[in-house]
Amino acid sequence: MRSPARACGARLLVTMAALAAAAAALHAVESAVIPYFQPWRLGLANTVTIIALARCGVAPAVAVVLCRCLLGGLLSGQFPGLPFALSLAGGLASAAVMAAMIRRDRWFSLYGVSLAGALASNAAQLGVLFLSVANISALFSLVVWLWPAAMAGGVICGLLAQAVLARLEDAAPAPPELSSASGRSAAR
């Protein structure tokens, strides 16, 4: 007979695999549409990170980010180059900031969480570029253009995450063992 803890582990693993596959697909599509300059992308894969944080918790969401970066880099042919490093730095920075904010759902909406994640992603990507590019002044002149784009992407990802989480909650509420893992219910 299967124990409840084992059933929860299997459900969490399947959920994480589905989220990682969705995030990798979004990453690969964005890489194909905007192939050269990663910070200009909307960051639609971060929508999946928000969903993973809300439904599964911090550690599973970080695992989804790592899988997304690796699979997305392999699918788009960017592994192990600079675009992969940008993706990994941006994904991990975004996940860290969003994880810290999503636990305080009384203070921050998903839009605010997503916006902060987009800005953190951009800041981390600029940091990686700073370490690898010789023309520093040109790099910082990009901030004027990149941060408004990141804010727009953050709002769009927040809207998408809110819509998906509402649909998921209507279709199949998160089991108590999964929703308690994130410290909050997706319905709040």
What is the average pLDDT across 41-57? 86
Q: Note whether 126 and 77 are within 8 A (CB).
A: no
At residue 42 the predicted structure's pLDDT band, cuts being 50, 70 and 90, is: confident
Q: pLDDT (tens digit, 9 = 90+) per residue, 9-39?
A: 888 888 888 899 888 888 878 777 766 665 5
- Tens-place pLDDT, residues 132-179: 876 777 777 777 778 888 888 899 999 999 999 889 888 776 655 555
Terminal C-alpha separation, the chain = 35
pLDDT score of 104: 55
- pLDDT at 185 > cutoff 80: no
Given CATH 1.10.1760, say whether it is the number of domain 4-179: yes
Interatomic CA distance for residues 182 and 188, integer angstroms: 12
pLDDT, residue 91, reads 92
Locate tokens 């589905």: which residue?
18
- Residue 95, pLDDT above cutoff 90: yes
Q: How confident is the model at residue 182 (pLDDT cuts 50, 70, 90)?
A: very low
Q: What is the pLDDT of residue 86?
A: 87
- Burial group, residue 115, by CB count within 10 angstroms (0-12, 13-18, 19+): buried
**Cβ(18)–Cβ(48) under 8 Å?**
no
Distances (CA, A) of 45 to 20, 33, 39, 94: 9, 14, 13, 11
- Hey, what are 112's tokens? 């605010």
pLDDT at 149: 84
Q: What is the mean pLDDT of residues 85-107?
A: 85
Q: Are 56 and 99 in contact (CB under 8 A)?
A: no
Q: Give me the mean pLDDT over the 77-104 stretch.
A: 86
Predicted pLDDT of residue 5: 47
pLDDT > 90: what percent of the chain? 21
Q: Judge whether residue 43 has pLDDT over 90.
A: no
pLDDT, residue 44, reads 84
Confidence of residue 97 (pLDDT cuts 50, 70, 90): very high
Q: Would the pLDDT of 47 be above 60?
A: yes
